[in-house]
Amino acid sequence: MTGKKEVKILLDKSEPANGNAPVGKLWDKLSKTRRRLKDRLDIVLSGKKAVDSSLLEELEEILFTSDIGVEITEQLIERLQRRVDRKSLDNPEQLKTILKEEMISFLEAGQELSAVNEIPDKARNIVEVIMFVGVNGVGKTTTIAKVAHYFQAQGQKVMLVAADTFRAAAIEQLQIWGDRVGAEVISQKRGADPAAVVFDAISAAKARKMDKLFIDTAGRLHTKLNLMEELKKVQRVANQQLSGAPHQVTLVLDATTGQNAIAQAQVFAQSLGVTDIILTKLDGTAKGGVVIAISQRLHIPISFICTGEGLEDFEIFNPREFVEAIFD
């Protein structure tokens, strides 16, 4: 452990998120990102006899335009250049393998900042309150259903609370997902104070001995500042009702927004103390490289990645599997 605040990620990574998913599903879903990275890299590498500065320049160009981020790109190129200088890299075929290993080590370093694999303490006997935050449309509500479904399959009792009382039909949308996964949804009428809804929901979750309570929050209010203030109030009130709650603040980011996702994450992290990140919509974008930028820039572990609209379209984030899916 580093000196960083200890964080417990939503999941025990030793268990597959979707046990009956076909082998290579992630590979299928990440095809657009793979085309942008691997296919271009293969073209550049084909027919090359040596790793020289022009090859590294071409590689740099590919990385720059793959949403991996300027800093990571520069660091990767520097590391490769050092290997070339030391004569430990001269064969273009080796280049891809080394590049992959370097990326995996970047991602793993980001995950190690916290206790990613910590298993929920079943003996603790209190409801674990997890607040899902993010701007509108990133996939918060859908992701809550996926995570609820996952934990229920492991025998956990999950309750949902509709704290997006602002957007029309947000409560109904959560209710539909709740019905679909068989989780009780606590809600009040539209326009109710989200903090008050959460206060009551924690009380209900305690009374019914729930293992987890997932808070679905709004993505948009009148202004962004109001949203942050409202979310902070939810945090404060949750903590009044149950000391230590919310135990996690999970930020949901839409991968299709590329570098914008990083800017969003910085705002949320500063205001709310985000404990982990879930990346959604990796299926529809060539910007999957942003996962690497997020990991490096934010130092917040990534718990899940989502690859579609269905309940099974998500995976526990595994750096090696991810890098292999975008490079092999």
Ligand X SMILES: Nc1nc2c(ncn2[C@@H]2O[C@H](COP(=O)(O)OP(=O)(O)OP(=O)(O)O)[C@@H](O)[C@H]2O)c(=O)[nH]1
Closest residue to ligand X, judged by C-beta, is 219
Contact 312, 18 (CB under 8 A): yes
DSSP tally for the chain: helices H, then strands E:
13, 8
Is the sign of the CA dihedral 325, 261, 113, 276 positive or negative?
negative
Distances (CA, A) of 233 to 164, 205, 284, 316: 13, 19, 34, 30
Contact characters 117-136, ligand X, x per CB under 6 A: -----------------x-x
Region near ligand X per CB under 6 A, out of 107-115, 123-131, 163-171, 224-232: 163-171
* Among 18, 66, 141, 187, contact with Mg ion (rule: CB under 5 A): 141
Nearest to 309 by CA among 29, 13, 27: 29
Q: Which is nearer to ligand X, 8 or 281 (CB)?
A: 281
Measured between alpha carbons, how far is 61 from 73 in angstroms, rounded to an integer? 9
Contact characters 290-309, ligand X, x per CB under 6 A: ----------------xxxx
Q: Which is nearer to ligand X, 118 or 312 (CB)?
A: 312
Check residue 137 for interaction with ligand X (CB under 6 A). yes
Check residue 260 for interaction with ligand X (CB under 6 A). no
Check residue 280 for interaction with Mg ion (CB under 5 A). no
* Among 34, 140, 212, 287, contact with ligand X (rule: CB under 6 A): 140
In the structure encoding, which two tokens stand for residue 154, read together?
């492991």
Q: Which is nearer to ligand X, 63 or 138 (CB)?
A: 138
Contact 190, 165 (CB under 8 A): yes
Region near Mg ion per CB under 5 A, out of 77-85, 102-110, 136-144, 295-303: 136-144
Check residue 25 for interaction with ligand X (CB under 6 A). no
Check residue 170 for interaction with ligand X (CB under 6 A). yes
Measured between alpha carbons, how far is 87 from 83 in angstroms, rounded to an integer? 6
Q: Which helix (H) or strand (E) holds 304?
A: strand 302-306
Sheet strand arrangement including 212-217: 184-186, 158-163, 212-217, 128-133, 248-254, 276-280, 302-306, 314-316
280 interface partner picked from Mg ion, ligand X, none, CB below 5 to 8 A per type:
ligand X
User: Interface with ligand X by CB under 6 A: which residues?
Assistant: 134, 136-142, 164, 167, 170, 219, 280-281, 283-284, 306-309, 313
